[in-house]
Amino acid sequence: MKYNLQTGEFYSNVEDVEYATKYIKDVISIYEKPEVAEEVLEQVTYEVQVHNPHGEIEGALQFGTSRIKAGDINGEFFMTKGHMHEVANRAEYYLCLSGKGLLLLMDEERKTTAIDMSEQSICNIPGNVSHRLVNIGEEDLVVLACWNSDAGHNYEQIATEGFSVRVFKTENGYIIKEV
């Protein structure tokens, strides 16, 4: 198997790769103002592909790509759902392949740090930290990730309490608003 560092695609004898597509309708509840036209709900907002040959084995690693489309919902930029790991102490590496984004990292005291992500930006996400990618650019934001196979995803806390900041479009770029 091969991995294209330009596009973030696995190719050639692709095995043990899982693909997931998120539509706006799947994640609309994460936005501050979720009122949108019916046809917007059917649009793709991000795609994930993950190579995990060993299943959820302690000590094993998985590796994948997240591709977040450019766009916004009533001025709030497209973003991932955001999560902490189910095994909360599991860390993760993110490496940006292309695009322009912010990586929001929120600790257990709800303090959020926004890390700039552009080509070649690399970030070590510590355990016990919620993380979300926000596409603040006009192209796809493509990010490679590597983390423990047994980490899992805990979406509950973010679904109920959200992050402590939101990122909105402005005339010249973006603004991070505390909520």
Using CB under 6 A, list all residues that contact ligand F6R. Answer: 48, 64, 66, 80-83, 92, 131, 133, 145, 147, 151, 153
Closest listed residue to residue 82, CA positions, set 116, 105, 51: 105
Look at residue 81 and give the partner it binds from ligand F6R, Mn ion, none, a contact being a CB closer than 5 to 8 Å depending on partner kind. Answer: ligand F6R
Q: What is the C-alpha separation between 147 and 52, in angstroms, rounded?
A: 10
What is the smallest separation between the CB atom of 171 and ligand F6R, expressed in angstroms? 28
- CA atoms of 80 and 143, how far apart (whole Å): 12
Residue found by looking up tokens 């047994």 in the block:
150
| Minimum distance of ligand F6R from residue 45's CB (angstroms) | 10
Q: Of 66 and 135, which CB lies nearer to ligand F6R in the complex structure? A: 66
Nearer to ligand F6R, 92 or 140 (CB): 92
Nearer to Mn ion (CB atom), residue 76 or residue 92:
92
Q: How far apart are CA 139 and CA 7, in angstroms?
A: 12
Q: State the minimum distance, in angstroms, from the CB of residue 131 to ligand F6R.
A: 6
CB-nearer residue toward Mn ion: 155 or 168: 155
State how far the Cα of 83 lies from the Cα of 98, in Å rounded to an integer: 22
Calpha distance 63→93 (Å, rounded): 9
Q: For residues 80-99, which are near Mn ion according to CB under 5 A?
A: 92
